[in-house]
Amino acid sequence: MKRNNLILVSALVVGIVFSGCSPLKKMKDKANDVKYTVNPPVLELVGDQVAISINGSYPAKFFNKNVIMTLTPTLQSGSNELDFDAYKVQGENVKENNKVIKYDGETFNYSSKVTYKPEFQLSELMLKTSASKGSKALDFDPYKLADGIITTCLLVDKNGKATPAADKYVRITPDAYQADIKYLIQQSDVRTAETKKPEIKEFTETVKAAAANERIQFTGTQLSAYASPDGPYALNEKLSSSREKTGKDFFVKNFKAAKVEDVVKSDLLKVVVTPEDWDGFKTLMEESDIADKQLVLRVLSMYSDPEVRDREIHNLAAAFDEIKVKILPQLRRSKMTVNVEIIGLSDQEINAQFDSDPSKLKLEEILYAGTLTQDANRKLSIYQAAARYYPSDYRTKNNLGVALLNLDRTGEAKTALNDAKSIENNEIVKNNLAVVALREGDITAAEELLTSAGSSDDVKFNLGTIKIIQGKYSEAISYFGNQVEVNAALAKLLAKQNDAALSTLNSVKSDDALVYYLKAVVGARTQNNDLMMNNLRTACSKSAELKANAKKDIEFGKYFQDNTFKSIVQ
């Protein structure tokens, strides 16, 4: 009797519960009638955020007028869950401030985002729904909305591009030695006083020393004879020709006495005769402190007729004693010019000198030495020595910083680059400190430095890289321009420019695994199975890290059960 009464009471309670929950249960049973559209259909990481937009459509006679429903989109990966913001909708009779869903049917739009966590790379977007009516509540079955998460943006190379400062080393340097002898007005004989001038002795000794120096090569000799432009042209022509002969005779005799006659051999010696040295006159006038010199030059420039010009220069000389004393005598001359090339150390000699005693290398030589090797450790040794022997030149510290960055010794590189900054805070140093900040994850500091670092290709590359990290793909593409770089191709891929991305990847000279991996992504997106499989196989053979990533990369989601795909990634 007691047992029957207990059963009766229990049945009554259950009946009451189901009676109270029947509107909720009815909605739960018809939950599949609700239509959801998710954008993007496969979730994608942009910057550090995963954003979703959901459009929901409730059919007529579905939504009870007295019900509140809480929708919580949730990323699920195994036992891990990551909730987006909850969203509430309510029936027409509910007195709360949520989106009202009419009994006759209604749509809603919802958007939210969460900060990405790596454990959710391979996950599903589920919709958790909880409905309540008064004090009664009921959870609906979870509903799958989408797959996720495309994380292709994380393949960006964040190392950045550091810029070494250029050396100024020139192996072959042209040079010239000059001396002249001067003549009295309207004369062409070489005076003893001119041959005894200290300048002539110094000139001869310089040429003699050059002849004995194996690193100096004679390339040509020129004897130039001139007359001042203050007499008749015919007379000046005769004077300059005569001065050419006497000047040449003197310098040839002088070189023979010094036993350097090779510099005046016929195949090296060139003769130039200038009857009226207007160019010399103009140069000397411009360099002089003669009053009204500009007026004189303007007056002379007005006349093109030689006879008129002769008369005017004669008149000017008579009127201006300074011209007669300071200018014209210097134009009556024969000038000998010996042209040479100074031959610096060869690449082999520079390397050998560095190995034996780097302290004997000049600044430009030791900086140049750093460009002669691709070995990162040798570069480091060279720039360490350069910074030690030439600490006051920013380039030595800058290039030391670049060498350390190339060896992933970022902390030490930062110290060296700050030393360079203390010497000269220029655009090159700013770019390289931005690379340090980029590697340290300080994107704000890196971008700030780059905005004042000029517009070199390295700066543009680094700014493009930052824009990828920030999820601003169009801006990234703009910064990269026509650069043929993996990051440039990645920016196009992220902007859904698949063909452009593949074109850039095909032009990249690097044999890095990432090049093949991104080609495989293009193949997956464009349903080109051969492109996908062949390049993924190469990428996985080169990189265990990319191989592990491919197993959970939703870019290849539709191939997860493909036997060929499985054989590549296992």
158-181 tens-digit pLDDT: 999 999 999 999 999 999 999 999
Cα 210–266–260 angle (5° rounding)?
A: 25
CA distance 419 to 398: 8
For residue 306, cis peptide bond before it (omega within 30 degrees of 0): no
Of 52, 237, 221, 67, whose CA–CA distance to 147 is shortest? 52
Comparing 116-130, 289-303, 343-357, the range with the smallest average pLDDT is 289-303
Say if residues 532 and 524 touch (Cβ distance below 8 Å).
Answer: yes
Classify the C-alpha dihedral 555-557-559-562 as positive or negative. Answer: positive
CA distance 447 to 159: 14
Q: For residue 9, what are its two tokens?
A: 């009471």
CA distance 515 to 440: 25
Domains of the chain (ranges; CATH) run: 2-150 (2.60.40.10), 172-343 (3.30.1330.60)
pLDDT band at 264 (very low <50, low <70, confident <90, very high): confident
Q: For residue 117, what are its two tokens?
A: 């966590």
Say if residues 464 and 480 touch (Cβ distance below 8 Å).
Answer: yes
Average pLDDT value for residue range 99-113? 97
Average pLDDT value for residue range 365-387? 98
Say if residues 44 and 149 touch (Cβ distance below 8 Å).
Answer: yes
Please check the confidence at residue 92 and state whether its pLDDT lies above 90: yes
Say if residues 343 and 172 touch (Cβ distance below 8 Å).
Answer: yes
Q: For residue 328, what are its two tokens?
A: 């014209």
Helix (H) or strand (E) holding 519: helix 513-525
- Under DSSP, is residue 269 helix (H, G, I), strand (E, B) or coil? strand
CA distance 353 to 342: 19
Question: Tokens 């000029």 — which residue?
Answer: 454
pLDDT band at 318 (very low <50, low <70, confident <90, very high): low
Phi and psi at 543, nearest 5°, equal -140, 115
Strands 99-100 and 87-90: parallel
CA distance 532 to 540: 12
pLDDT of residue 6: 40
Q: CB-based contacts of 33: which residues, under 8 Å, 6+ apart?
A: 59, 62
Cross-strand pairs, 106: 58
Average pLDDT value for residue range 47-54? 98
**% helix, strand, coil for the chain, step of 5:** 55, 20, 25
Buried b (16+ CB within 10 A) or exposed e, 490-512: bbbbbbebbebbbebbeebeeee
Q: For residue 353, what are its two tokens?
A: 């000198």
pLDDT band at 7 (very low <50, low <70, confident <90, very high): very low
Full strand arrangement of the beta sheet holding 269-274 = 172-182, 333-343, 216-226, 269-274
- Under DSSP, is residue 259 helix (H, G, I), strand (E, B) or coil? coil
CA distance 417 to 428: 10
Distances in whole angstroms, Cα of residue 537 to Cα of each of 512, 514, 555: 13, 12, 15
Phi and psi at 343, nearest 5°, equal -95, 115
Length of the chain counted residue by residue: 570
pLDDT of residue 436: 98
Please check the confidence at residue 1 and state whether its pLDDT lies above 50: no
Average pLDDT value for residue range 221-226? 96
CA distance 219 to 241: 25
Distances in whole angstroms, Cα of residue 181 to Cα of each of 6, 196, 238, 277: 137, 10, 18, 15
How many CB atoms are closer than 10 A to CB 41? 12
Rg (CA), the chain: 43
CA distance 534 to 564: 10
Average pLDDT along the chain? 93
CA distance 404 to 419: 14
Cross-strand pairs, 37: 55
Distances in whole angstroms, Cα of residue 239 to Cα of each of 86, 245, 280, 312, 396: 104, 10, 16, 20, 57
Strands 106-115 and 49-58: antiparallel
pLDDT of residue 4: 45
- Under DSSP, is residue 133 helix (H, G, I), strand (E, B) or coil? strand
Average pLDDT value for residue range 207-232? 93
How many CB atoms are closer than 10 A to CB 83? 13
pLDDT band at 9 (very low <50, low <70, confident <90, very high): very low
Of 300, 307, 359, whose CA–CA distance to 327 is shortest? 300
pLDDT of residue 14: 41
Q: Tell me what percent of the residues of the chain surpass a pLDDT of 70.
A: 95
Q: Tell me what percent of the residues of the chain surpass a pLDDT of 90.
A: 85
Please check the confidence at residue 69 and state whether its pLDDT lies above 60: yes
Please check the confidence at residue 217 and state whether its pLDDT lies above 90: yes
Comparing 124-133, 303-312, 352-361, 560-569, the range with the smallest average pLDDT is 303-312
pLDDT of residue 21: 47
- Under DSSP, is residue 357 helix (H, G, I), strand (E, B) or coil? coil
Alpha helices in 188-232 (DSSP H): 192-195, 198-212
Distances in whole angstroms, Cα of residue 444 to Cα of each of 197, 447, 455: 68, 5, 18
Question: Tokens 């939210």 — which residue?
Answer: 112
Q: What is the signed CA dihedral for 327, 330, 332, 335, rounded to 10 degrees?
A: -150
pLDDT of residue 507: 97
How many CB atoms are closer than 10 A to CB 519? 25
Please check the confidence at residue 13 and state whether its pLDDT lies above 50: no
Comparing 35-49, 249-263, 289-303, the range with the smallest average pLDDT is 289-303
E strands, 279-393, in order? 333-343
